[in-house]
Structure 1
Amino acid sequence: MGLIERIFTGVFGDGRNVVAETAHVFRENAEGAAVRQAGIKRQSMQQFASEFAVPRSGFFDRLMDGLNRLPRPLLAFGTIGLFVVAMVDPVWFATRMQGIALVPDPLWWLMGAIVSFYFGARHQAHSQDFQQSIAQTMARVPTVIENTRSLQAMQYDTPQVAQSSPSADLTLGAVTPASNPALVEWQHHQS
């Protein structure tokens, strides 16, 4: 009994718990972590509240607050609007998308960086060859011009866009008599 008692006294005696102390080296104390997290949240909420403690009643402050709230809804409604326009007038939409195809990649990266910084994301730097991108864009110009011309030719207000053959053939087909069995039978009954 004496040996076991000495072992337990060595491990748990003197108000110590060697097992718990050793476990805390490898695993965080959940209760202590919760207390620290609560303190961090309390401090951040106090800092947030102190930011709005100063009354903002001036025209400039209200204007800036309103402008800061505009980009997200404008981007969301603008994107939905693009879908609506694509369904309402596909030729107009496709023509504008051909123009967007000419935007060089570095400009897309710049726009992506601005939007990602605005919404709080971190910009990842891209090292791309600017001259190669410009050359690729310029190589696409003839195709875009041809696509735009083709799309404009399909516009609803282009003359004869809905006709499947020349108008002279349509006129001839309308005035050339053809056999009509119902008319022949009606004429036969009338005589």
Structure 2
Amino acid sequence: MGLIQGFLTLMFGSGRNVIRETAEVFTENAEAGAKRAQAVQGQAMQQFGAEFALARHGVFDRFMDGVNRLPRPALALGTLGLFVSAMVDPLWFAARMQGIALVPEPLWWLLGVIVSFYFGARHQLKAQSFQREVATTMARVPQVVENIRTLDALRADSPGAANPGPDAQLSVAVLHPEDNPALEDWKSSRST
């Protein structure tokens, strides 16, 4: 008894849990991870709130807020405008495209970098959200497969759907069908 008690005291005694402490070396403690995530989220929200704590009602501030909202709609509407102008006046459109063909390649690279940085963060956020949704959907696959199997077993044409079970009289009755007057009338009408 002393050996078992000594082992249990070593593993769980003195206010420690050696097994839990060892397991936490290999996997994160979910509760501690949630507390850390909550602290990070709280700090981010405080920083975000502090950024907008001062009321900015000046003309310049409103103007800059408006300018910050322009790029996405301007790019989208500008692209649609190019399609419309190509249909309305193809020669005018072709002349403008010839001008664009003269833009040097380093300037195209610079434009690509600016647009990538501007839209990249949003794309990354959407991609991560999509991955989470795919993972959630994939987690439901075993349940869906099981539901499909259950539904297939209920179909009338599936093997064993009409199994009479251990009832011998029912088994004999299933093997020897009763007379069906309607079927007999139909057979006789078909033979004549």
Please report the TM-score for the alignment, with normalisation by the length of structure 1: 0.55
- 1:94-143 per-position Cα deviation (integer Å, ceiling 9, x unaligned): 4433332332211111222233344566xxxxxxxxxxxxxxxxxxxxxx
**Matching of residue 48 in structure 1 with residue 45 in structure 2:** no
Between the aligned partners of 1:53 and 1:21, the Cα distance in structure 2 is 43
Number of aligned positions between the proteins: 121
For 1:148-167, what aligned pairs fall within 5 Å after superposition?
Answer: none
1:38 alignment partner in structure 2? 38
- How far has the Cα of 1:92 moved from its partner? 3.7
Between the aligned partners of 1:4 and 1:86, the Cα distance in structure 2 is 87
- How far has the Cα of 1:30 moved from its partner? 1.2
CA gap of 1:120–1:56, structure 2 versus 1, over 3 A, is farther
- 1:18-58 per-position Cα deviation (integer Å, ceiling 9, x unaligned): 11101111221111111111111111111111121111111
Identity of aligned residues (%): 69
Task: State the superposition RMSD in angstroms.
Answer: 2.3
Segments of structure 2 that go 5 or more residues without pairing to the other structure are 122-192
Please report the TM-score for the alignment, with normalisation by the length of structure 2: 0.54
CA gap of 1:19–1:91, structure 2 versus 1, over 3 A, is farther
- 1:126-161 per-position Cα deviation (integer Å, ceiling 9, x unaligned): xxxxxxxxxxxxxxxxxxxxxxxxxxxxxxxxxxxx
Work out which structure has the larger RCO, using CA pairs closer than 8 Å and 6 or more positions apart in sequence.
1
- How far has the Cα of 1:78 moved from its partner? 1.2
2:102 alignment partner in structure 1? 102
CA gap of 1:2–1:83, structure 2 versus 1, over 3 A, is farther
Between the aligned partners of 2:71 and 2:119, the Cα distance in structure 1 is 10
Between the aligned partners of 2:103 and 2:9, the Cα distance in structure 1 is 77
